[in-house]
Structure 1
Amino acid sequence: MSFLIALTVFVGLLCALDLVLTLGVIKRLREHTALLAKGSQPARPAIQVGESVGRFMATTVDGAPLEPGSLHGETLVGFFSPTCRPCQEKLPQFAAYAAARSGGRNGVLAVVVTEEDDAAEFVAALSPVARVVVEGRQGPVATAFMAHSFPTMLTVESADEGTLVVTDTRVTLDIPAATSV
């Protein structure tokens, strides 16, 4: 009889331990879910401030050729993917920020990276405020800027002989765009 009582107590303690561990796992999952939900911060590009952007040749959706030499002065550059939820959330903010910048759409480059034909919504939102390029994941512009995660936003400035140099890798869209002359 004492064996059955000991066995019952042991099973009860084992169940209580299992319950405590399960509650700990649930708490941890909620913390991770909250962190993932906040993950809509723009990704930091692999290219760093002061580095030169690689050479590229592309064509905008308007049919205009695009290469490093065609970007003059300070240029805001954004990389987006239609399949990325943070990109969908940041798109209106980026468009509003770009519209507030002086220099018009020539001072903004938006690259929509997709392997599908689902870029129409992004192109429609970005075309009024930026020169837009649509390319695949290993496209020439994304490769030149070392953009591997999305959304990625940075600023570049033209240097000598058509070279672009990264001036900022942390573009904060919730502050008014700096008006450059």
Structure 2
Amino acid sequence: MITVLTGAVVILTVLVVLDLSLTVLLIKALREGKLNSTPGGNDHDHPDHPEGGFEPTAPTIRPGSPVPPLGLTTADGRPLSQILAEGRWLVAFVSPGCEGCEQERPVLTEWADSHAARGERVAVVVTESSQRIDAFVADYPFAVVAADGVGDGEAISAFGVATFPSYVRIADGAVTSTALELPGHEVVLIDD
């Protein structure tokens, strides 16, 4: 009986030491930036990525695709998929702490103002929990705002978003184009 207990203690000790070693290596890799811990799978500050070689990519959903069915609701409780099914929309995907998102916000505000007369509206999908959405509603008063949860949320995955900010244009429930930037008042379109 003692040999079985001794063997079990030895095995548990080895497993604990292995677990601690892996945890230390993981923490070290995260601190050195060798692993990415940001929502969406990529660094938010893509132009200044310290490791270099980062390729920002537009959302992978193809033009002509219907708006994916989403369980998300806007900050005021409306189903996002239902809202995007009618009219013309620019959907902006943003993330808290994203420098590029903060830099683009004034340009997005101007874009929304200049395109409102043309009937184009803005929806902002934030990688944040719905409990913390009020701050983003205040930041984007011109837009319909929806929280997509922290990390790879439902809309982030459905639209294929990997870089923040990213933009998708929609007309009558179908994707018309995807983009990475809003220079001036025009969206730089990336069509496949």
Query: What TM-score, normalized by structure 1, do the two folds share?
Result: 0.60
Q: How many residues are matched?
A: 137
**Within 5 A, what are the aligned runs for 1:14-33?**
none
Of 88, 97, 104, which aligns to 2:102? Answer: 88
Q: Distance in 2 between matches of 1:64 and 1:110?
A: 14
Given that residues 110 and 130 in structure 1 are in contact (C-alpha distance below 8 angstroms), is that contact kept between their aligned partners in structure 2? yes
* In structure 2, C-alpha distance between the alignment counterparts of 1:98 and 1:149, rounded to whole Å: 21
What's the RMSD between the two structures over aligned residues? 3.3
SS at match of 2:185: coil
Residues 106/167 of structure 1: CA separation in 2 closer, same or farther (3 Å cut): closer
Amino acid at match of 2:146: V
1:51 to 50, 60, 65: 65
- Are the counterparts in 2 of residues 53 and 165 from structure 1 also a CA contact under 8 Å? yes
Select the residue among 170, 174, 180 that pairs with 2:183.
174
Provide closer, same or farther for how the CA distance between residues 71 and 50 of structure 1 changes in structure 2, counting only shifts above 3 A.
closer
**3-state secondary structure, aligned to 1:101:** helix
Query: Are 2:140 and 1:131 equivalent residues in the alignment?
Result: no
| Alpha-carbon distance, 1:111 to partner | 0.5
1:89 & 1:118 partners in 2: Cα distance? 21
Aligned-partner Cα distance in 1 for 2:119–2:77: 15
Show structure 1 runs of 4+ deviating over 6 A.
Answer: none
Computing the radius of gyration from Cα coordinates, the structure with the larger value is: 1
- Tell me if structure 2 keeps the 8 A contact 1:112–1:134: yes
SS in 1 for 2:179: coil
Shift of 1:69: 5.7
Residues 89-108 of structure 1 mapped to structure 2, 5 A cutoff: 89-102=103-116, 107-108=121-122
Paired-residue identity, %:
30
The structural deviation recorded for 1:172 is: 5.0
Query: Mind listing any 5+ residue stretches in structure 2 that lack a counterpart?
Result: 1-46, 188-192
Give, in whole Å, the separation in 1 of the partners of 2:115 and 2:127: 23
